[in-house]
Amino acid sequence: MEGFDISALKQIPRPELFEFEGISMTHYFTDNWENVQNFKARPDDILIATYPKAGTTWVSYILDLLYFGNTAPERQTSLPIYMRVPFLETAFPVIPAGVKLADNLPTTPRLIKTHLPVQLVPKSFWEQNSRVVYVARNAKDNAVSYFHFDKMNIGQPEPGDWSTFLKNYIDGKNVFGPWYDHVCGYWEKKKTYSNIHYIFFEDMVEDTGREVERLCSFLGLSTPSEEKERITKSVHFDSMKQNNMTNYSTNPVMDFKISPFMRKGKVGDWKNHFTVAQNEQFDEHYKQKMKNTTLQFRTDI
Ligand code: A3P
């Protein structure tokens, strides 16, 4: 973030949650709303859409390497992933709004990140038939990851203790609203909009190479196999954790003493957090919320 005094971000107070367009939000994602909704997508844009903590950074980095890994090596060593792949709806202090960063991207395609639920995605993406890569993660691990993220990130509301956070998560009272509606919304959209590639975090952990392969088919890329293998190695959890351009260590709003951004990267860490009672309650509610969808998740691999 050259040219910006990002250290000032350390001083900002935590934001409050409020209802906005039917979901819980903080002002960082609503202050630039009109410009977000009027964003002019292009047919070759690629929108990386996720519920927070589903593996956004992982897939962003894979796409960045697939498209620009060879053509722009300096990009890999000098530009953090969150600057290469702007976060569309952000209006953080000090740094330019996500829309502006996306507008100014010099690359083709432009890789753009959003956490907006499907009904709030700027309509130009659908009108332009832009490609959408959606990553979903099972609700339990997603909750655990989100809890640790909220604790370490002063740009997020205060999460309280684990049981308070979990209760709020079940009620959809966290930034970007309920997990259930988010994952189901994009799943439903796939039925009428064929340019969505729906990926599961658990599949990525199980076999990253296979998912890179599938991404290439969706994107129509004929990346040589050696290159795909190299990318698969570079995006391994341990490599990304070591890499200052992908581990968010350059981001001043995150306190790594509380929790690193690249925390565990596992399927099943929820078992270290949920009590038996919490798990039963969660499952009961989950069954209700997910009873009308064909969408299935694995909480173990
Ligand atoms: P954990 O907190 O469970 O470790 P997002 O990028 O959407 O914010 O998601 C962050 C989550 O994805 C974190 O989960 C992070 O560790 C995990 N993650 C990021 N890169 C990963 C990788 N290469 N392999 C496995 N998990 C990864």
Residue closest by Cα to atom 23 of ligand 1: 237
End-to-end alpha-carbon separation of the chain, Å?
38
**Two tokens, residue 154:** 């002063």
115 a catalytic residue = yes
50 lines ligand 1 (CB under 6 A): yes
Taking the model in full, what pTM does it have?
Answer: 0.97
Of 50, 51, 58, 269, the residue with max ligand 1 atoms within 8 A of its CB, to mutate for a pocket test, comes to: 58
The upper half-sphere exposure of residue 254, i.e. CA atoms within 13 Å in the direction of its Cβ, equals: 13
Domain positions in the chain are 24-289
Cβ–Cβ < 8 Å for 10, 100: no
Coil, strand or helix at 50: strand
54 lines ligand 1 (CB under 6 A): yes
| CA 8–ligand 1 middle distance (angstroms) | 26
Instruction: Fold for 24-289, please state it.
Output: Rossmann fold (3.40.50)
Instruction: With residue 46 as reference, give the H or E element that holds it.
Output: strand 46-50
Q: Which amino acid type is present at position 70? A: N
pLDDT per residue, tens digit, the chain (301 aa), is 555 666 666 677 899 999 999 999 999 999 999 999 999 999 999 999 999 999 999 999 999 999 999 887 788 899 999 999 999 999 998 889 999 999 999 999 999 999 999 999 999 999 999 999 999 999 999 999 999 999 999 999 999 999 999 999 999 999 999 999 999 999 999 999 999 999 999 999 999 999 999 999 999 999 999 999 999 999 999 999 999 999 999 888 899 999 999 999 999 999 999 999 999 999 999 999 999 999 999 999 9
- Beta bridge mates, 25: 18
